[in-house]
A and B are shown apart, each in its own frame.
Chain A
Amino acid sequence: MPNYLSNIKPSFKQQVIDCGKIPAYNYKKTLNSELNGGLVKKEAIDLLEDMLTIREFEEMIVKLRSGAYEACPSYDYRGPTHVSIGQEATSVGACAGIAPEDQITSTHRGHGDSIAKGCIVIRNMTVEQLRARVPDCKSNHRDELVEVAMNDHIFRTIAELFGKEDGYCKGRGGGMHIADFTVGHLGANAIVGGGVPIAAGAAMAARYMEDKKVVCCFAGDGAYANGVVLETLNWAAMNQFTNKLAGKHKFGLPIIFLVVNNHYGMTGRAQVEVAGVDFLARRAAGFAENNMHAEVVNGMNVLAVRDAVRRATEGCRKGDGPYLIELDTYRYYGHSLSDPRNEYRERDEETSWKEVDPIDVYAAELIKGKVLTSKQYEALKGHVAKRNADAAARAVASADPDPADVIKYMYTDTSADVVPEEFTKTKIVKEEPEIKRKDGQLTYKDAIKEALLEEMKRDSRVIIYGEDVADYGGAFKVTKGLLEAFGRQRVFNSPISEAAICGTAVGAAMVGLRPVVELMYMDFALMASDQISNQASKWHYMSGAKAEVPLVYRASVGGGKGYGGQHSQTLETIFTHIPGIYVIYPATPYDAKGLLKTAIRDNNPVMFVESQLLYTAKGNVPEGEYLIPFGEADVKLAGSDATIVVWGPAVHDALKAAEMLKAEKGVSVEVIDLRSLVPLDMETVVRSVKKTGRCVVASQCISIGSFAGEVASRIMEEAFDYLDTPVLRIGAENGIAPQSHVLEAAFLPDAKRIANMVKRVLL
């Protein structure tokens, strides 16, 4: 059901809005009733073992800092110390509540989540999976294989904290960014709230691919005051996933928002200080009519947490997501070990929480219920401690990464050259948009649309969303007709939530989709700068190349249309400064199509910049398949006296300037369109500058700190001896884009100003 025309009539009928009721601490079961209700004894003990493993692991970090850890007393641990001691029941209960194939995202205080997720998945592995996991273990006994794999899991976790090559992320991420995609751990996140849209994106992918996976999103009370988190709550609860717009596939996002409320942000207290509600579960009521089935659960009780997450998981699998569960828990230590806590809380508070310690209370229950003897409990503690100590000693002895590889894994060199069979079966829902070609020419806008159309037909993993991109076809009609062609499953409108647009794309890309999302104006990219710069760009590197983030951000530049300071900026420079993302800016319809197709197939995130000034520009665009590789500049005009290195709409001004200079002074100017800023083709630039000895770098960026300066600097480094005059830059005036037409004409560079700059290098 592609198009939908609203017909909402006014209705001002007096009524009361019922926000419903949110249950709190409703868990009534006991160990016995759980055992009778399906919890097997082994599993009950495993819950304890995993909590002990986490507790012991984090106490190790505390001891390491003071040299008191016996397994490696002199090891100098450098890195964060965000321990979650006290919160073990949240990690273990939640990871036990979802299925092994389900996924999690975690936080900077995420050792527990990571350990729990790994332990539970390993225990549920088949013998074949275990052998693949620990190929060096030759045992045929499942229990032995599990134990070796558990040991390996702890080893890789510690090695990551120690920054070792054998760590889960090859020492590139560390404890705050630990991820293990093989067990469904999509990454801990050191930006508070930063992982939440990623979880929603992964849930979107699960919904789209109908793989029945659920995503459990851990985030603390601090995160639930963060913009992108609130954007994501709205995103996950969007009606279009479950109402008639969803067609046959009415399915709520399979995501569980787990509010791990340990009562402190860093030190800021949610309950009495930085929030206006007593229970953060109330947040759900603001975003979903069903309150996201929100409830508050005793986060010190592993069985209660497990129970709530199991119920939520079942609901999600039926399409009733999203769910929100607030876990009431407590952080025994400070934010980190440098935080003594006594500035903001009483010792008595800590004591009272320790009386309900998740491990002590649960262990006592198991002993009392005769599931475990005291002796077995002691043996279990010893076993866990020994396993951790062995792993720590191995981690200390394991190799550091090679310093020569310091920026290895910044980009992946893979791309989707071949589409797996299951994604090639794309179907046209209604009809393809007609791309009007005249004398072999297309507009820049239609060239982009043709690229999108071709790539969506080629690969069903390509989906498009953004503000108003569906029925309306985008603010500039670039995507008009794609909803009709592919349906709302693949082309849908987003709320005006740039951070969530960019962040959900990261999560969706991580788990297998290839989203192409639109930022209506490039200025709005700044609303999403964390998601673009810290998430999309960094995950391949931070995960030690475990994750790939194949997405495209299409950002449209409004400069030249009189839209003033917040809708006119040419901001590609900002993203050239962020390692891990490619930055592309085509200037012609031909390049737009060829480069966008490359961007969609590339397995790196791409900032694909478009100019609204160029949307109606026409040029030759071949029908059908062609790709333009990244990192290849295009010599748009050959010349011998001076070089203009340029990109974006300024390419056309530069070509005009070259004509003027030829007519006026008989000067022969070479014009090089970079097209791709990152990666940068310096070879073509240097070859030209060696020939001409004179160079102007032009763009519509303001010159302060712009990429033009980087290009000029590289020319200085690589072709100094060939220069006859200093390399000059020409961009917009070093100021803010004005609305006034007269002022904007003075603000942006034009052919005449570029020609004048060339005259200066010709002196």
Chain B
Amino acid sequence: MAQAVVMPKFGQATEESTIMKWHKKEGDIIKKGDVMFEIETDKAVLEVESFFDGTLLKIIVGEGETVPVSVTVAFIGEKGEAVPDVVKTAPVSAPAVRQEARQAAPVKAAGGAPAAPASVSVAAAVPSAPEVPGRFFISPRAKALAKKCVIDPLKIKGTGGNGRVVERDVVAYLESKGYSNMKISPSAKSLAAKEGIDILTVRGKGVSGRIMVQDVRNAMAERPKTLSKMRQVIAQRLTQSFTTTPHFYVSVSADMTDLFAYRQELKAKGQVYTVTDFILEAVIMMLEEIPVLNSVSDGRTIRWHSSVDLGMAVALDDGLVVPVIKNATELNMMELHDMAKSLATRAKEGKLLPDEMTGSTFTVSNMGMLDVENFNAIINPGEAGILAVASTVQKVVVIEGQMKIRSMMTMTLSTDHRIVDGATGAAFVNGIKNKLEDIELWKSLT
């Protein structure tokens, strides 16, 4: 009996994933442990290995298609063996759909010929009509007219039965837009038709506003493109945090001159630490001292975390991830350094495991290498604060009445005002500042 290969569920919260690439094709011999395909979850790209020996009989979910976890994506079995008739799970586009799709048993009765794969790319069939709630009704005649005129019928208000857009609505719409007076070059029109560009959105730059091919190309370039999975997650989480958590900000500048000198000393001795390592360690110690910053609130309750799981924002080419240093208080400086380095490296390679990217209790975002004087960060959902670390710059500072040139680093704490007040915030950032400036402390820790 053919064995179903299902979309794995790698992270606790992963509900769907996209197949990026198939490493095997139908008919290939598969050994247990072979990498069959790569998937992109909302957090990372992962390789999926086979649990079975056999022949890849049929690929159900192709490259670029997104399906809920646990859905059958392929069958492995004896060469020539029949595969069950599979109802192709519709690609997900909304959470509600996702839920349904998961509940629907993907495998119909066994036996019979395998269902032919849909020839049309399923992803392409997803309607791109976010501004239209529910179903959009348009008569075939009106649709054909809109198509002929190369306009987007979704923008037309229907006056037919059921709110259907009928021919007269298209005609009225075209009239209201002065369509009959528009000048469009035939090749521009056919390109727009091919590319699905609404000709009414194209600004003509030809003689007396004539729409030329280049104008359509410009419009194509301006078309909104779907955010990557990662950016969508970022967008969703940060919007949620920034709109539901009352942020307030406390900044201090730490004098890093002595610590930099000490760091060079250690380096000379072969002990290599990054500036971040010291900042992380200082933050870990302060979280132990002021645990309210290591808690979370929903506005009604507060939940204290018994361990410090420190998030560490890592910039990537096309976004950022926050790998988590779990049980950070248990690590000595060297272990902390190794862990931070390992996570950052794997984050940049896109090889973090899903569970390494979830569950942080506080986050440090260090933009020191990016030459900024200061910045405010947005709290990660589920945390009480985030520390934004800016670049260290040489500044003239007054020490004991003397003007001195010192290396100063501005840190800004963003925190949840529902559970953290100004004095607590100030105590927290000043505690970090004091620790960073206390060379004796670091000597005892390194």
Contact = CB atoms under 8 A, between A and B. Distances in A.
A693 B139 CA distance: 9
Contacts of B166: 693, 724-725
B161 A724 contact: no
Interface residues on chain B, size class: 10 to 19
Interface stretch (A106-114, A190-198, A715-723): A715-723
Interface in A718-763: 720-725, 760, 763
B27 interface: no
B20 to A, nearest CB: 38
Given A693-B139, A693-B167, A721 B161 contact: no
B266 interface: no
A721 B142 CA distance: 8
A693 B141 contact: yes
Contacts of A760: 161
A642 to B, nearest CB: 12
B172 interface: no
Contacts of B58: none
Contacts of A724: 139-142, 160, 166-167
Contact of B144 (A722, A725, A763): A722
A506 to B, nearest CB: 45
Given A722-B144, A724-B166, A724-B167, A763 B161 contact: yes
Interface string B128-163: 000000000001111110000000000000001100
A550 B384 CA distance: 95
A722 B145 CA distance: 9
Interface of B is mostly: helix
Interface string A701-726: 00000000000000000001111110
B160 A720 contact: no
A763 B143 CA distance: 16
Contacts of B142: 724
B160 A721 contact: no
A763 B160 contact: yes
Contacts of B167: 693, 724
Interface residues of A, number: 9
A722 B140 CA distance: 6
Interface in A280-296: none
A693 B166 CA distance: 10
Interface string B166-194: 11000000000000000000000000000
A688 to B, nearest CB: 13
A760 B143 CA distance: 20
Contacts of B144: 721-722
Contacts of A722: 140-141, 144
A156 to B, nearest CB: 41
Contacts, number: 30
Contacts of A723: 139-141
Interface in A166-216: none
Nearest to A760: B161
Interface in A470-485: none
B167 to A, nearest CB: 5
Contacts of A693: 139, 141, 166-167
A723 B139 CA distance: 6
A71 to B, nearest CB: 39
Nearest to B164: A725
Contacts of B161: 725, 760, 763
Nearest to B159: A763
B380 to A, nearest CB: 52
A725 B160 contact: yes
Contacts of A721: 140-141, 143-144
B220 to A, nearest CB: 26
Contacts of B141: 693, 721-724
A724 B161 CA distance: 10
A725 B138 CA distance: 9
A466 B141 CA distance: 50
Contacts of B160: 724-725, 763
Most chain B CB within a 10 A radius of its CB, from A720, A722, A724: A724
A651 B143 CA distance: 32
A709 to B, nearest CB: 19
A254 to B, nearest CB: 60
A555 to B, nearest CB: 38
Contacts of A720: 140
A760 B162 CA distance: 12
Nearest to B160: A763
A693 B165 CA distance: 13
A216 to B, nearest CB: 54
A693 B169 CA distance: 14
Interface string A646-676: 0000000000000000000000000000000
Nearest to B166: A724
Interface in A688-706: 693
A317 B164 CA distance: 75
A721 B160 CA distance: 16
A723 B160 CA distance: 12
Interface string B228-254: 000000000000000000000000000
Nearest to B161: A763
B161 to A, nearest CB: 4
A721 B164 CA distance: 15
Interface in B47-100: none
A720 B141 CA distance: 8
A232 B142 CA distance: 60
A454 to B, nearest CB: 46
B344 to A, nearest CB: 57
Nearest to A763: B161
B170 to A, nearest CB: 10
A725 B142 CA distance: 10
A724 B141 CA distance: 5
Nearest to B143: A721
A639 to B, nearest CB: 16
Nearest to B148: A721
A668 to B, nearest CB: 14
B296 to A, nearest CB: 56
Nearest to B144: A721
A763 B139 CA distance: 11
Nearest to A721: B144
A648 to B, nearest CB: 28
B157 to A, nearest CB: 15
A693 B167 CA distance: 9
Nearest to A722: B141
A610 B21 CA distance: 69
A180 to B, nearest CB: 45
A333 B140 CA distance: 62
Nearest to B162: A763
B149 to A, nearest CB: 14
Contacts of B143: 721
A720 B140 CA distance: 6
Nearest to A693: B141
B133 to A, nearest CB: 22
B147 to A, nearest CB: 9
Nearest to A720: B140
Contacts of A725: 139, 160-161, 164, 166
A763 B161 CA distance: 5
Nearest to A716: B140
A693 B140 CA distance: 9
A205 B141 CA distance: 56
A720 B144 CA distance: 10
29 contacts: A693-B139, A693-B141, A693-B166, A693-B167, A720-B140, A721-B140, A721-B141, A721-B143, A721-B144, A722-B140, A722-B141, A722-B144, A723-B139, A723-B140, A723-B141, A724-B140, A724-B141, A724-B142, A724-B160, A724-B166, A724-B167, A725-B139, A725-B160, A725-B161, A725-B164, A725-B166, A760-B161, A763-B160, A763-B161
Given A693-B141, A724-B140, 15 more contacts: A693-B139, A693-B166, A720-B140, A721-B141, A722-B140, A722-B144, A723-B139, A723-B140, A724-B139, A724-B142, A724-B166, A724-B167, A725-B139, A725-B161, A725-B164
Question: Which 6 residue pairs of A and B lie closest in terms of their CB atoms, listed nearest first?
Answer: A763-B161, A721-B144, A724-B139, A724-B141, A693-B141, A724-B166
